[in-house]
Amino acid sequence: MIRAGYREAAEQPGFAYRDYSPDEARAIVERALANEPCPVEEDQVEDVRLNLDLVQRRSSAPTTDTGMSVVAVTVPSMRMSNATELTDDHHAQLAELGLRVDHLDEAIWAGVDARASAPPLGPTNGAGLLDWIHRVGRLREVLVAEGWTRVDKWNAGLVQHPTKPVVLGTLQGNRHTGTLGAPLRSDYAKGPAIAAMMRGNDRDQFTLFDSLHTHEWKLWFLVTYPHQEGDRLVVLREVAQPEPTPQGQVVDRWAHRITLPPLVFGPLPTPRGTDGPDDIDVTVTLRG
């Protein structure tokens, strides 16, 4: 724990442990920020480069009723220049598929929240894997609650609409996710299950939504692409139907794309359905 680590450090001769009020701590931080950063070791230089901006933001943000400055975690609805505004047309297109924006937000948020729990020394793909697991899980939870059915053939992680010929999955896209006309492609090649499910998909954009009245299942994806912009996590997003794509190939041809504004998260996403805070348990090694 941080506090235990500090107390242990303070047991060394010449050091003393101190508790601070939020105002006292803030004053110390503000005084330090008024001076030039002074990292010495290579890792200190890197730490300061990566984290000083966050410290400055915390110090300069509006003060809360707790007396400490913090940065609010926000979801700007329409702030990015590479995505369109949320319009009635977006809502109508999603409704054609039996979807609402809040279904998608729930899933994306669950994935982002799960990323934060990836251990720093875990596998390098740990955060992305947790994101996918929770994104799929939450998406299916909210839709199954509204009558959809989970589809686990070949562990594909899909969910099927109760009446429309719509099957929905999740997919990681690229930086063009959410930008209509830009070359969207999947991050990974698709396996046999997804390839098989795409066989009935449309082959061009001119069949938009008419195809929903056929009897052939159409596989759609909630396509997301998370990336860091400063201290914010930005998730580009859209709902898209790929053209039929052979097994082993990345998906880069799309029959339909419903591009949506990105979700922008602050550095510290807040979990929904909270039960109150747990203890902080972080080991701190002091460096001189």
Alpha-carbon span 261 to 13, nearest angstrom: 56
Compare residues 17 and 188 and give the one whose CB is closer to another protein.
Answer: 17
Alpha-carbon span 111 to 121, nearest angstrom: 19
Smallest separation (angstroms) from another protein to the CB of 235: 13
Binding-site member from 22, 192, 230, 246 for another protein (CB under 8 A): 22
Alpha-carbon span 192 to 207, nearest angstrom: 25
DSSP characters for 133-193?
HHHHHHHHHHHHTTT-EEE-GGG--EEE-SSSSEEEEEEE--TTTT-TTS----SSB--HH
Compare residues 113 and 238 and give the one whose CB is closer to another protein.
Answer: 113
Of 28-36, 85-93, 139-147, 215-223, which segment contacts another protein by CB under 8 A? 28-36
Q: Please, how many CA atoms are within 13 Å of residue 131, restricted to the half-sphere of its CB? A: 20
Restricting to residues 78-117, which ones interact with another protein according to CB under 8 A? Answer: 79, 113, 116-117
Kindly list the strands in the beta sheet with 254-265, ordered across the sheet, starting from the edge strand earlier in the chain. Answer: 149-151, 158-160, 166-172, 218-229, 232-242, 254-265
Q: Is 42 in the site for another protein (CB under 8 A)?
A: no
Instruction: Report how far apart the first and last C-alpha atoms of the chain are (Å, whole number).
Output: 19
Contact 15, 6 (CB under 8 A): no
Alpha-carbon span 193 to 155, nearest angstrom: 8
Binding-site member from 30, 55, 170, 192 for another protein (CB under 8 A): 55
Q: Quickly count: other Cβ atoms within 10 Å of residue 129's Cβ.
A: 15
Binding-site member from 30, 60, 64, 123 for another protein (CB under 8 A): 64
Binding-site member from 72, 92, 182, 250 for another protein (CB under 8 A): 72
Q: Is 60 in the site for another protein (CB under 8 A)?
A: no
Compare residues 118 and 212 and give the one whose CB is closer to another protein.
Answer: 118
Binding-site member from 128, 137, 244, 267 for another protein (CB under 8 A): 267
Q: Is 133 in the site for another protein (CB under 8 A)?
A: no
Of 25-33, 90-98, 191-199, 212-220, which segment contacts another protein by CB under 8 A? 25-33
Smallest separation (angstroms) from another protein to the CB of 7: 8
Of 69-77, 131-139, 147-155, 252-260, which segment contacts another protein by CB under 8 A? 69-77
Of 76-84, 133-141, 142-150, 193-201, which segment contacts another protein by CB under 8 A? 76-84
Compare residues 163 and 283 and give the one whose CB is closer to another protein.
Answer: 283
Alpha-carbon span 134 to 140, nearest angstrom: 10
Smallest separation (angstroms) from another protein to the CB of 44: 4
Alpha-carbon span 155 to 143, nearest angstrom: 18
Binding-site member from 42, 88, 210, 279 for another protein (CB under 8 A): 279
